[in-house]
Structure formats: structure tokens, C-alpha cells
Amino acid sequence: MSGRARMVNENQCHTCMPLGGVMAFKGIENAMVLVHGSQGCSTYMRLTTCEHYNEPVDIASTSLNEKQTIYGGEANLRKAIDNVIRVYRPKVLGVLTTCLAETIGEDMDRMVGAYVREGNAEGVDIIPVSTPSYAGTNTEGFWAATRQIVSHYASPAQKHRKVNVIIPHISTADIREIKRILGIMGVQYTLLPDYSMTLDRPCAGQYQKIAPGGTSPADIALMAGAPVTVQFGTTCPDGLSPGLYLQQEHGVPLINLPLPIGLQNTDLFLEALEDISGHPMPEQLDMERGWLLDAMADSHKYNAEGRPVIYGEPELVYAYASTCLENGAVPAVLATGTQNSKLLARLNFLLTGVDEPPELMEEADFAAIEEAAVKAGANVAIGHSGGKFLAERSGIPIVRAGFPVHDRVGGQRIFSAGYAGTLAFLDRFTNTLLENKYGSYRLLKKEELKKHEISTTGDE
């Protein structure tokens, strides 16, 4: 982060690395997740996920305690895998490590490999992923799990026409919008990971241990034969990039794009799809682009008064920052809890020519973000519920976006992608500015009149 170094985190601007891995596995068909660590880790992950998605989310635990910390947790791991297979009957089981498991040196590849070789897996694909939180955040956990899933299944395959589409952790509403755009453009695709149904499903009236939906392992296996990969991961570290893995190991060309939030970013996505499909943009999407342009013209005079602080996962911070800039709202602070992203380089390029560039912060906590936001005169925020103290203590209203949103309902349905989603975000952002302005200017006027009366009385 820029500025002075901090020795401790106060209300960090991220969640833990294995939680990001959970999100990735929830986007795989017939998958279950097992966290190798203490019971408290999986309890925290279940609570955070349930509060955001408002769906029942099962996450198993190996329940390590003091004894396993000393003697090792292989027996617990084996028992936990047995129980998960018996109760849930998954086809895929993601095994994620925690700080505790990694600190005591658990050799996950060896332990899982031995379990499988002994014939205990019963047709279940068990995929271990190293996700200690001291090595990264939920962002790195999501990318690490997605890459591991791809490397587990992808194998030399016959060439076909289905395009690989790889996404970061975004809302289920945005996943559905990306899929809608792909469908309108006539593009056949495999989207990974797809939790648009598993974590946001219609009311079924009956609890299901593993929700239907997700990307099938059979489709993932064919990703190595795709004509191209479109990955929304411009800030993803190379070592965690699933798209880069497919390019390097299987020769699948990679188109790495920013999230299609904002006019320019969505244009980049549509231009790529036009090249891939050979089809021009259909009238329906062209009209949606026109409506967005009209909304930008309507709201620019209000957005020019905005000084947003934008925080959260790197891809979202970049997408919302570029959207604000093209609408005349110059950010005051741009922050992420992640340290190893490519975000700062991307932002520095984006901010070229900006007269009052914002403070850029990596590995930030909300104590530092709030201090920087107040100092810079921020009057609106964009990000998840972790920043609620910006509103409570400093009066900076929040346009909620990202994960987790636990103090409002509908976090999973926050819609920002594509031309239609950008228009919806722009309305939310502009109306938040207007509400803050018109909700306080009469109070300010009264204070000014009161000061004037006191001053006049004193003169007399």
C-alpha cells in the first residue's frame, strides 16, 4: 500500500483464501467442498457465504484440534472424506487447506493420492488446493482453485468450436448477463466456474444437499481443445491464471479482458465476440449500448461532483474505477486487500492524464482506507459490506458491490455487467450521490443561517 506501513490489520479489506476456493468449487457440477482445518474455519465460511447468497451452503470440515496439530491430521482427513462421500455422494470433491494445515506441514498431494490409490474414492474426483490465508486472500484462493480444477481435468482434446470463458468472483446476476450476451452473439461456450444456479437458485421447496447446476467436468476436460479462451482476469497473477495455463500447456489462445462493466470495457468484450463469431453486434445489444450512452449524458453533471472511494477485489476495483472515470467521477481512493495483483500497474495506466489522481492502496485495511478517504474528501463509496463503517463513522454512503454483502439482501443479484448492467450501476451510483446531497443540504443551510444569526447578534 502507498503511504506509511501498518503493523497490523484493522478490519481487513478481504476474506480468507480458502473462502475464494469454496466459491470456485461451488461453480462445478455435483461438487462438494472439504476444508482441512479447524471447525471454526468452515463455520466462518458457511456463515459468510450464506449471508451473502441467502442460500443454504454446505462446507465440510476435517475439524483439526490440538492433538492433530501435534501428530498430523491425515486420520481426520480420511474420515472426513469418507463421511462426505457417504452423505453427499458428490462427483467432485475440492479439498482446501487452511493456515493451520499448511503451518503443520500437511502433504495434501500425498495424503489425497494415497486415499485414491487405495480405491476409497468411489468414482469421486478429489482435487486438493493449497489455500493458506497467509499466502493470499479470497481473490487468490478463487483463481488458485479454478486453475487447479482446469489442470486436473484438461487433457489433449479434439478441436471444437466452444469458446472458454473464465470469470473471477462476480455476482450471479452478472454471470447470467455474460451468458445472455454470449447467447445473443451466437457464441458456443464453456463458462467456468458457473455458480449462477448453485448459489442463486429458484425456490424449490425442498433442501438439496448439492444444488443442481455448475460447469460439468466433461466440459472442463474439453477446454484444452477450444479455439480461444476469454478470461476476465487482467489483474490475475500469471501463476494462478487458468487461461494462461491452457495457453502454455495446450496452445489455446488467450484473450485477457477487464470485466465488462462500463462502456469501454463492455465494448472490448463485444469486439472480441464479434471477431470470434464473425457476427456484428445485434440490434438488441446496440440499443442497450444507446440507452447506456443516454444515461451517461443524463447523469454526467451529477457524477462530476462524485469523489468515490472504491475498494474490494482487484478486477472489480479496476472495472468500477474505469466506469466512474468515463462518467466524470474521479476516484479519491482505490484500494484492495490483495497484495500480489497487477492492479496498481493497470490503474496507473488508466489514470494517465488525471489532474488529481487518487491514492492507490494494496493490502489495505479499512482503518487506512477510511483515513485516506476522509483526507481526500471522498463523498461516496463503492464496495462490499466490510466498508460499512465509512458510512457509520464518516458519513460516506456506500453503493454496495462485490463480496460479501451481509447487511442488505440481494447481494447475489447486484447487477453491473454489460451495457444493461452498467446502466443499472450508473443509476445506483448517481442516485446515491443525489440522495446524499439533497438529504443534507437543508441541514447545512440551517447551520449557516444559525451561524449568521449568532454573528449578527454579536455585532449588535
Is residue 373 within 8 A of residue 360, CB to CB? The reply is no
Mean pLDDT of the 210-226 span: 96
Domain 283-442 superfamily per CATH? Nitrogenase molybdenum iron protein domain (3.40.50.1980)
Q: Does the structure show a pLDDT above 70 at 446?
A: no
Read off the pLDDT of residues 81-118 as tens digits, 9 standing for 90 and up: 999 999 999 999 999 999 999 999 999 999 999 999 99
Q: Which pLDDT score is estimated for 103?
A: 92
Q: Give the residue-averaged pLDDT of 298-315.
A: 96
What is residue 450's predicted lDDT score, i.e. its pLDDT?
64
Identify the pLDDT of residue 333.
98
Query: What pLDDT score was predicted for residue 459?
Result: 54
More confident residue, 95 or 436: 95
What is the pLDDT at residue 443? 61
Q: How would you classify the pairing of strands 60-61 and 31-36?
A: parallel
Compute the C-alpha angle 115/119/123, nearest 5°.
Answer: 100
Listed in order, the ranges of the chain carrying CATH 3.40.50.1980 are: 17-136, 163-277, 283-442
Q: What is the mean pLDDT of the chain?
A: 93
User: Quick one: pLDDT at residue 205?
Assistant: 78
Closest CA to 140 of 150, 129, 151: 129
What integer is the mean pLDDT of 316-334? 97
Fold of 163-277: Rossmann fold (3.40.50)
| Dist CA 16 CA 21 (whole Å) | 9
pLDDT band at residue 341 under the 50/70/90 scheme? confident
Give this prediction's pTM.
0.93
Which homologous superfamily does the CATH classification assign to the domain defined by 17-136? Nitrogenase molybdenum iron protein domain (3.40.50.1980)
Q: pLDDT tier at 442 (50, 70, 90 boundaries)?
A: low
pLDDT of residue 3: 42
Mean pLDDT over 200-213 rounds to 89
Query: At 344, phi and psi to the nearest 5?
Result: -60, -40
